[in-house]
Amino acid sequence: MFHETSIHAPPVSSLESLHFGRNSTCSSFLQAPDVSSWNCMSCLKASSDCAFCANGDNKYHPGACLAITDAIQGSCRKEHRTWYTQGCPTKFGIFAVLLLGLYIISYSPGMGTVPWIVNSEIYPLRYRGVGGGIAAVSNWVSNLIVSETFLTLTEALGSSGTFLLFAGFSFLGLVAIFFLVPETKGLQFEEVEKMLEKGFKPNICCCNKPAAEEDDSK
């Protein structure tokens, strides 16, 4: 959705840009060999000195790529236009916000609670405090890394590229969970400990029982 948002930004019109005068038009736009494919995002990414002045009739219609100065910004807003320097108007933006909210609503009571539940069940009693503490620190350090690098990543990769990178890490995490984390549902703490002592193997065919359940059946 972030990708769709960026490619469906309003196009840049040469007539709209020259409406404010050639000296007001962004130099990167004037020097570009082919500006027919430029849109608002192209204008903002071309240079830190470029801004997008939306169409006065409809902000989704072709607008102007202008240089960033107080005077030009004032001229844009004087005509009741919107001045953009960090993002662009798009009809897809509301869907990105709604899907982000849906993700939070589904993640918080779902996968968001799983690590804490696993941490309370997976360790032997003598190591539960230390193991839980290490896991909690690892979790919050990972959150800190994401928070500290997010803006840098969005500038380098764009919003869609950044979330695609996160999706890749999530997939690697899913593979690691499958091969390294056993199912502890319905097992007592002692049974989990016995299962780990014998060694855990992934249930690839979904037909093998955990070691503790096999012992019970015998």
* Whole-number pLDDT of residue 204: 61
The DSSP code sequence of 83-138 is: EESS----TTHHHHHHHHHHHHHHHTTTTTTHHHHHHHHSS-GGGHHHHHHHHHHH
Which residues is 39 bridged to in the sheet?
A: 11
* Whole-number pLDDT of residue 141: 94
Digit-coded pLDDT (tens) for 112-168 = 888 888 888 888 778 888 988 998 899 899 999 999 999 999 888 888 889 899 999
Residue spans of the domains in the chain: they are 2-84, 112-217
**CA distance linking residue 6 with residue 87, whole number of Å:** 9
Are 37 and 29 in contact, with CB atoms under 8 Å apart? Answer: no
**CA distance linking residue 76 with residue 55, whole number of Å:** 10
- Describe the strand order of the beta sheet including 64-67 as a list of residue ranges: 64-67, 50-53, 83-84
* 171 or 121: which leads in pLDDT: 171
Are 62 and 55 in contact, with CB atoms under 8 Å apart? Answer: yes
* Whole-number pLDDT of residue 203: 63
Q: What is the mean pLDDT of the chain?
A: 84
Residue 69 has pLDDT above 50, yes or no: yes
Residue 64 has pLDDT above 70, yes or no: yes
Digit-coded pLDDT (tens) for 95-114 = 888 988 998 898 888 888 88
Residue 212 has pLDDT above 50, yes or no: no
* 52 or 109: which leads in pLDDT: 52
pLDDT above 70 as % of the chain: 92
Would you tell me how many other CB atoms lie within 10 Å of the CB of residue 157?
A: 13
When mean pLDDT is compared across 25-29, 94-98, 184-188, the lowest value belongs to 184-188
Residue 211 has pLDDT above 50, yes or no: no
One CATH from 1.20.210.10, 1.20.1250.20, 2.60.420.10, 3.40.50.1100 for 112-217: 1.20.1250.20
* Whole-number pLDDT of residue 216: 52
**CA distance linking residue 125 with residue 90, whole number of Å:** 54
